[in-house]
Amino acid sequence: MGEDVQAAHRSAPDLDGRGMRIAAVCGRFNDHVTTRLLDGVHRGLAGTGVPADDIEVVWVPGAFEIPLAAKAFAESGTVDAVIGLGCVIRGETTHYETVAGECAAGIQQAQLATGVPIVFGVLTTEDLDQALARSEGAGGHNVGEEAAATAVEMVALLRRIRTAP
């Protein structure tokens, strides 16, 4: 994991998720990992005040399909943010680069086209051990929890920007 070198006076993000509606789009491929990420999303959103009833979860075949479902949620007007969850583990072919790269590009395109935050919670790892290390349970490193915080922070930031005088 990359290290975040923090400035001495870094401002704290707004992580009040009350009143927010969040969707999670989960890739079924490697779901022994993505279910752990989804557990992290639920913990993370609960910690910001997003009620379980305001979280919608759908499953897609794999990471490559996440951007389309995420864009559909963003365009629906029913959610404030979308979290894409997947797990792409490097194999012996270039399939890894294609799937991971296109998933990331698709998520970026979808959020820029819709103006709705779509968080990239897709693990791109060299092996299963790395994926498991980034999807640990409560108290461990879980990219799903980080994605939940990012979603809430971005919704709050965009609301502030869009309502500024």
Strands (E) in 90-141, as ranges, are 118-125
Under a CB-based contact definition with an 8 Å cutoff, are residues 102 and 44 in contact?
no
159/84 Cα distance (integer angstroms): 21
CA distance 148 to 13: 13
Helix (H) or strand (E) holding 73: helix 66-76
> What amino acid positions are annotated as catalytic residues?
95
Q: How far is CA 15 from CA 58, 76, 79, 147, 150, in A?
A: 24, 24, 17, 12, 9
Q: How far, in Å, CA of 66 to CA of 89, rounded?
A: 16
